[in-house]
Amino acid sequence: MDIKNLLTFIHVAELNSFTKAAEKLGYSQSTVSFQIKQLETELNSQLFERINHTIALTEKGREVLNYAHQINKLTQELEENMQKEGTVRGHVRLAMADSLCDSLLSENFLTFREKYPGITLKMIAAGTEEMFRLLNHNEADAILTLDNHIYNTEYVIVREEKVGVHFVTNADCPLAGLSTISISELIQIPFVLTEKGMSYRRLMDEKLAEMSLEIQPVLEVGSTDRICSLVEQGVGVSFLPDYVTTQKVREGKLVYLKVENFEINVWKQLLYHRDKWVSPQMESVLQYCVDREFQ
């Protein structure tokens, strides 16, 4: 049995499309169709029901998919274990919240590269829902989330910690001297925020919606460093995790605002799918994430 046929079968099953699988694998659609037909002939079973332009796994197809995942996992394990002793090489795909990218790509990344020159890393900035889609379709090896606390037996939690989040403004803002402020008063001030729907911004919006309130920011931008700089210049107020703002608060450039009855729980979590084979290169990247993101 050709392993390539099993891998093609996994892609068709997960993408629910011969065309999308062909695009993903870089094959022609006829090649994908031939590989699936060859696999069905070898197993003497129909793996997909084909009705008009739609496909769906048969009962036997779902059974074969489970075995295909196990075979793929064992194949990866065999390949990694056959690497020369002392060498770690390979490609790792890490999906993560955009605001965590900067800290992972600090000066310590050069040390990581010097230690593991054979590892290539692809970092994918995405929202939490998209991260889990990538993880479930094996398009990401691990994810680093900044969201509600997530627990599901489908996933292994490598490390997690609760993250503080605050409304911040510059030291010269009149709000900075107030002991407390109501959220209804605060949202009248111009806001600079990360993109709508992204991690802690989404949690803030959901909390506001429960109170029948909404913020219309004057600017939305993905870079938390840029947001900090703009707020420091006096553009307005933002809502950011503490690991982004702590240093500037210590320097007196930014100030945390105390907002009445407005608390949001945000968690940083490093996870991978329980069926994922943790290769030496993936283990090295996971450890690097732990060292950089969880102190």
Can you give the pLDDT of all 295 residues of the chain as single tens digits? Answer: 778 888 999 999 989 899 999 998 889 989 999 999 999 999 999 999 888 778 889 999 999 999 888 888 888 777 766 655 457 888 999 999 887 887 788 767 888 888 889 899 999 988 888 999 999 988 999 999 989 999 899 999 999 999 999 999 998 888 888 889 999 999 999 999 988 887 888 999 999 999 999 999 999 988 888 999 999 999 999 999 998 899 999 999 999 999 998 989 899 999 999 988 898 899 999 999 998 888 6
Query: Residue 238 contacts by C-beta under 8 Å, 6 or more apart in sequence?
Result: 167, 168, 169, 191, 192, 193, 227, 228, 230, 231
Q: What pLDDT sits at residue 1? A: 75
Q: What pLDDT sits at residue 231? A: 94
Query: Residue 259 contacts by C-beta under 8 Å, 6 or more apart in sequence?
Result: 167, 180, 181, 182, 183, 186
Q: What pLDDT sits at residue 74? A: 82
Query: Residue 16 contacts by C-beta under 8 Å, 6 or more apart in sequence?
Result: 55, 56
Q: Report how far residue 88's alpha carbon sits from residue 81's, in angstroms, rounded to the nearest whole number.
A: 10
Q: What is the value of pTM for the model shown?
A: 0.67
Q: What pLDDT sits at residue 161? A: 94
| Radius of gyration of the chain from its Cα atoms, rounded to whole angstroms | 24
